[in-house]
Chains A and B, each alone.
Chain A
Amino acid sequence: MTNPATLAVGDSALPRKFGPMTRQMFVKYAGASGDFNPMHYDDDLARGAGNPSVFSQGMHQTALLATFATDWLGAVNIRRFQVRFQNQVWPGDILTCSGTVVGVNESKEGAVVTVDLTCTRQTGDVAISGSADFAVSAP
């Protein structure tokens, strides 16, 4: 975890890679989350609906982005975590999570750091874009 006292606008964390993504990861996330939409583990069904194969749950790559963000700024400090689902993620994809500080503000809990977050496929397509607030000086 970064020392929050030194954070300033423009700072970014070392990006983190996840993958190659596998069907087993999708199934593991399905079980953990309770989202059993078969489009994420039944290839026949996914192809029948016009997809090349199953694809990952949007909330799965969101959770990977949360792993990156909370390792960076502290799990206990999270106060807001927001994402937009942009592009699908497929088996074999390698995802890169990155983040940049876009604000440092005072709140009743002390300093709150706002970061922009991105989860990008190996093609350069953005899978998830998001932002988060961390109360980095909370007691």
Chain B
Amino acid sequence: MTHDPDDTASPVGTSGLPWEFRIEQGKIREFAAAMQSDNPAYQGPDAIIPPTFLVTAAQWAPAGVRVNVGFERKRLLHGEQQYEFVGRPPHVGDVLTAQEAVVERYEKPGKRGGQMRFAVVVTDYRDSEGRLVARATGTFIERAARKVTE
């Protein structure tokens, strides 16, 4: 998801456009190093992806395909994140298609006044035959604006 307050915020039910990316051995290895893992499952030509690896797919999204939560960057927080896998996690050589959707928006009163806004973005990852292999669910928060003192 993007968070451009100047662009139109995507309403609930909005889907982005699909984009394709390939699961690469070197990228998994780099990610495993950053997560300080020496698990052999993440090494070699048959490596599987670590649980949070699909976060890397966003960097291959072409401009304009992602949904926009429309939150101000300075007030944007990542509240929760979940990854679900249908069977074994994807592995090196898989070509997946990612597509985002805004599935929920809600507001809560902030602790110091104002409104906190929430947006839930689901990203579905499908294989070349269109089967769902993984789903990411992110909850993003825009903190309440500080009261302007005059």
- List the interface of chain A (C-beta within 8 A of B): 18, 25, 28-29, 31-35, 49, 58-60, 62-64, 66-67, 69-71, 74-76, 78-85, 109, 132, 138
A sample of 29 cross-chain residue pairs with beta-carbon separation below 8 angstroms, ordered by A number, consists of: A32-B56, A33-B31, A33-B56, A34-B56, A35-B55, A58-B78, A59-B55, A59-B81, A62-B81, A63-B35, A63-B52, A64-B35, A67-B35, A67-B36, A67-B37, A70-B39, A75-B39, A75-B42, A75-B50, A76-B88, A78-B85, A79-B85, A80-B85, A81-B52, A81-B83, A82-B81, A82-B83, A85-B78, A132-B51
Looking at B33, B74, B80, the one whose CB has the most chain A CB atoms below 10 A away is: B80
Q: Are A66 and B50 in contact (CB under 8 A)?
A: yes
Known: A34-B56, A67-B36, A71-B37. 20 other contacts (CB 8 A): A29-B35, A32-B31, A33-B34, A35-B55, A49-B74, A59-B78, A64-B35, A66-B35, A67-B37, A70-B39, A76-B48, A76-B88, A78-B89, A81-B52, A82-B80, A82-B81, A82-B83, A84-B79, A84-B80, A132-B51
B58 an interface residue at 8 Å Cβ cutoff? yes
Which residues of B sit under 8 angstroms from A75, Cβ to Cβ? Answer: 39, 41-42, 48, 50, 89
How close is A91's CB to chain B, nearest CB, in angstroms?
A: 16
Given contacts A34-B58, A34-B59, contact A82 B82 (CB under 8 A): yes
Q: From DSSP, what is the main secondary structure of chain B's interface residues?
A: mixed
Q: Are A138 and B88 in contact (CB under 8 A)?
A: yes
Q: From DSSP, what is the main secondary structure of chain A's interface residues?
A: helix
C-alpha gap A81/B80 in the complex (Å): 11
